[in-house]
Amino acid sequence: MKSHLSFLIIEDDKYARLNLREILQPFGIIEEAEDIKSAREKLAIRPYDIVLTDIELGEGSGVDLISEIVKKGSHCIVVSSYEGDETIEKAYTLGAKHYLSKFKLKDQLPVYIQKFIQAKQAKFEKILKDEFITQDEDLISEFKKLAEINWKNQTLFISGPTGTGKSLLGKLIHEITHPEANLVHLNCSEVAENLLESELFGHEKGAFTGADQKKDGKLKLAHGGTLFLDEVATMPMAMQQKLLKALDEKTFYPVGSSTPVKADFTLITATCEDLKDKMAKKEFREDFFHRISGFQFHLKSLSERPNDIDLLLRHFQALSPRRYVIKPDAIQLLKKHAWPGNIRELRKTCERFSQGGSGIIDSQIVSKMLGLETKFQSSQEEWEEHVFQHGLKSYINMIERKAVEEAMKRNNGKITACIKDLKISSSAFYRILQENKLQF
């Protein structure tokens, strides 16, 4: 299996660097620094999976770098011909994982790299097992592929119906790849179009009306870490073009500034909409899609993996402080339900089980909770009573909310299909979700 690790070699001897590069070549991408100054510059720009440093670096000592390497979340290996006990002890005390002799690298170093790869994959699988509850073989296979990716200069695009865990997956990837760095999250659908540029790139004081002080954008805040853009399908095409340029050049300009700002981060994007359909309709840029989808991951709806329902029910039961029992007939009913809101809807349902009066959940209780909800009426008497008691705006909000809820059920949580059926814009759809605090 080909590895995709990122390495930084800190070594002042040219031939020693060449020797290390030859050994590490099969395992991934390699960068070099020949002194402490250039090493610090590279460490400030991006994280590395493994950093190998010599002890004697001309005018400085590699020991001085070890704590900085470890703070960046990198695995530190000292490679040196100097073998004094005091130095070796200090290196390990500061956080070095291994201290290897330069004279035995060809045999020893690949062994330690393989151990690192195995530990990294085991860590990923443990986080997956603990946090992402599934026994779906297709999903598990895709998750394992994620552990093999070199996330340096990589992008991840996550698709799937709402409520399937796209944000959770993004969080897991960040925890594995950049545990010491920032995870910056932005839901594009929740930001007004005229404010999105400022939100992403930041702005200078006085750049526009209301810009009373300087503000750092999400790109700058994510430097060295992860930027997660949720509901990227709602991003205007003009903004897609600006972000594409920033991603390619790794620099951007805050609103109202002529000074470029560097930004290097792992980009994760997600949406519940069909971007291929939007590209066909010229509503989403193809070049931008290709830039953000270096690795594509699709999360299935809960109805496509019904065997996970049992697992999730037990998981949510275990999280509840109040114990309750779900009868077999209730479980069968739960497994037959369409779950348009997917895992989020199932979790909310389990919370209602926990908060309910009965500690024994049977099919009758499940039927009542799942909707067999009363359909809203439209008789003249009812709408008149609502309008004159609560106001016209309240009545309109109720109609919008009920229409969206019904559309989500009919379309199994597929946002694009809902918007099409309701014949409204994406912004109107997300406005209704936000105003009514709807979660699916």
d(CA 302, CA 72): 37
d(CA 250, CA 30): 20
CA atoms within 13 A on the CB side of 5: 26
Place domain 136-298 in its CATH homologous superfamily.
P-loop containing nucleotide triphosphate hydrolases (3.40.50.300)
CATH 3.40.50.2300 assigned to domain 5-118? The reply is: yes
**Under a CB-based contact definition with an 8 Å cutoff, are residues 67 and 93 in contact?**
no
> pLDDT value at position 380?
56
Q: Residue 102: is it exposed, middle or buried by C-beta count within 10 angstroms (0-12/13-18/19+)?
A: middle
d(CA 27, CA 22): 10
Torsion over CA of 426, 430, 432 and 438, rounded to 10 degrees? Answer: 140
Burial 125-161 (b: 16+ CB within 10 A, else e): eebbeeebbbebeebeeebeebbeeebbeebbbbbbb
Do the domains spanning 5-118 and 305-369 agree at the CATH topology level?
A: no
d(CA 264, CA 217): 13
> pLDDT value at position 52?
96
> pLDDT value at position 415?
83
Query: Max alpha carbon distance in the chain (Å)?
Result: 91
d(CA 219, CA 235): 15
Q: Looking at this protein, which amino acid is placed at residue 376? A: F
H helix count then E strand count, the chain: 20, 18
**Residue ranges of the chain whose pLDDT lies below 50:** 1-2, 372-378
Question: Looking at domain 305-369, which of 1.20.140.10, 3.30.70.20, 1.10.8.60, 3.30.300.30 is its CATH number?
Answer: 1.10.8.60
> Residue ranges per domain, the chain?
5-118, 136-298, 305-369, 380-435
> pLDDT value at position 423?
86
Pairing of strands 251-252, 325-326: unpaired
d(CA 82, CA 99): 10
DSSP structure class, residue 34: S
